Amino acid sequence: MDTIKSFNGYGKVDPQEELAFKRKTRKRLIILGISLIVFVVLIIGAVVGTLVHNKNKNDSNAVPSSQTSSAAAIKGVCSVTQYQESCFTSLSSMDSSNSTDPEKIFHISLKVVMDSLEKLSTFPEEWMNRTKDTRVKEALKVCKIVLDEAVDYLNDSISTMNVNNGEKLISVPKIEDLKTWLSTIITDQETCLDALNDANASLVEDVKLLMKNSTEYASNSLAIVSKLLGMLGDFGFPIHRKLLGAVDSGLPAWVPAGDRRLLQEAMPQPNLTVAKDGGDVKTIKEAVARIPKKSKTRFVIYVKAGEYVENVILDKSLWNVMIYGDGKTSTIISGNLNFVDGTPTFSTATFAAAGKGFIARDIGFKNTAEAIKHQAVALRSGSDMSVFYRCSFDGFQDTLYAHSNRQFYRDCDITGTIDFIFGNSAVVLQNCNIMPRQPLPNQFVTITAQGKKDPNQNSGISIQRCSMSPLDNLTAPTYLGRPWKDFSTTVIMETEIGGFLRPQGWISWVSNVDPPSSIFYAEYRNTGPGSSVADRVKWAGFKPTLTPAEASKYSVQSLIDGASWLPDANVVFEST
């Protein structure tokens, strides 16, 4: 294992060790470069092989060379996907221009996804009228919300392919955006199925059949951007010959330039003040009703000290909202919606943020439904590039639902019992206090439950430089987490772990059944009495230790592309 003390750039590092690390990094880049060349040759080989095969056919049966070239190019691009047959068939039927440009083929793939998603998005309302089961109706409402969001993120993906003069079409920030949004589109569809499964709906299999095309097509597009366009972009290959030039700034259009100052300032000037004894409004819901839709500028809400008992939703149309209070124990938003009383897990959130660029600071989110009520979310975030700074999340089961997209949590307190940090976002938690609490009798405690469904999703939970200690007299068996889906990804690193943890560290979703080898669970340089990996689980997908290079993939810089949206003065963070 490399001997460098931590990631390059963090802490004091011996000069000789840093030099050795740089040499190894350079060597890895050379190997990666060679791998890329081999990969491109394979793609070209697929194209050439098809051309030669067609050339040798009887001339009377030959197809025009442009169609042959296009079919070969599509076949080559589709070779990187999980669903190659559906990829080739769907793209061939849509490609009227007989394109051989991988970038244009990818663009066509997005249109294929859009056609299937638009058809799919109509079913929740239609099926709500067919059932009298209130739980199923509520689950179908969740399906409508997430499928509408999926269509929006697909529109964003298509829009980002349209460039101005002088812009690079393929650049690292754009690739990261596309990977994130396509990952979310897959997550949204899975969330619909989860809601229906939880409601024991008999129509689950019918919905799976309805989703077959949209999930496969979205997976295909994600594979293309991750494995082909992403590699070409990383190495600067100009696959679109007409548009070369300025490097993208990395900041999406919805991120206001003034955000560097918002988190640095002690008290940003609010657009609205919420106070029980005065202010502009007396409830947070009233303030939310006044937020302009799809704003490119930051809208700031200040919530004075007090406990506000209300369920607040910032939907996908509310961009660039910042909400701050007088402290995570002074300003509290509280609710008690829960699964046992008939609300789907997704909808139990006391506070939910879906619009892009959400920031919360110095405020607490609480779900007061106790453990007996099962799933009861305090906060749900599907906001891309969302920041939670000096906040608290207080609950029991499913406290913090980091649903999707890129998220960052710093200096936060999180309490709970079962799966109390869960979801399928790309999320980094730094310098947070994670406090498991006593569950119901005969229950165990799991801190995390990560929900990565597709191998190319860029999601995962990274807990870095945090502290894990019990909130109360914790006697129940306690684990770092359990894999929720086939490709679940969770890394705990440089974190202090108390002695409350069971030595095996992790537990399977299904009792006594090892999770699939496709998961990625790992620990890296943790400290404290619970950090020993000597008796950890022996799963094929668990790594008891990582090299610094492997661990760096789960840093702010790599996992959530933080350098492009967490500028130096914006919020305290370590990028590595």
**Cβ–Cβ < 8 Å for 339, 375:** yes
Alpha carbon distance 270, 276 (integer Å):
16
b/e per residue 114-153 (b: at least 16 CB within 10 A): bebbeebbebbeebbeebeeebbbbbbbbbbbbbebbbbb
Query: What is the C-alpha to C-alpha distance for residues 383 and 377, in angstroms, rounded to an integer?
Result: 16
Q: Give CA separation, 140 vs 131, 214, 239, in Å.
A: 10, 17, 42
Query: Three-class SS of residue 189?
Result: helix
| Local structure of 252: helix, strand or coil | coil
Rounded to 10°, the helix 84-94/204-223 angle is 80
- Between the alpha carbon of residue 182 and those of residues 168, 207, 565, the distances in Å are 20, 20, 19
Extract the tokens encoding 361: 């600071």
- The closest alpha carbon to 126, from 136, 140, 115, 139, belongs to 140
C-alpha span between 399 and 474 (Å, rounded):
17
Q: What are phi and psi of 211, to 5 degrees?
A: -85, -5
CB-based contacts of 561: which residues, under 8 Å, 6+ apart?
Answer: 172, 173, 176, 250, 406
Q: Which of 248, 419, 454, 561 is catalytic?
A: 419
Within a 10 A sphere around the Cβ of 216, how many other Cβ atoms? 20
Determine whether 277 is an active site residue.
no
Across 271-375, the runs of DSSP E, i.e. the strands, are 272-275, 278-279, 299-303, 306-309, 312-314, 321-324, 331-335, 351-353, 359-361, 364-367
Question: How far, in Å, are 21, 24, 401 from residue 16 at the CA level?
Answer: 9, 12, 43
By the 8 A CB rule, do 388 and 429 touch? no
Please, what is the angle between helix 65-78 and helix 15-55, to 10°?
140
Q: Position 462: which residue type?
A: S
The label of the residue with tokens 């906040």 reads 391
Q: Residue 509 and residue 460: Cα distance in Å, rounded?
A: 17
Look at residue 544 and give its three-state secondary structure.
coil
Torsion of CA 192, 195, 201, 204, to 10 degrees: 30
- Find residue 490's DSSP bridge partners: 461, 521
| Contacts for 455 with CB less than 8 Å, ≥ 6 apart | 82, 487, 518
- Report which secondary-structure segment, H or E, holds 522: strand 520-524
6 CB-side CA count, 13 A: 16
Q: Which residue has the tokens 């919420």?
A: 274
Hey, which residues are catalytic here? 419
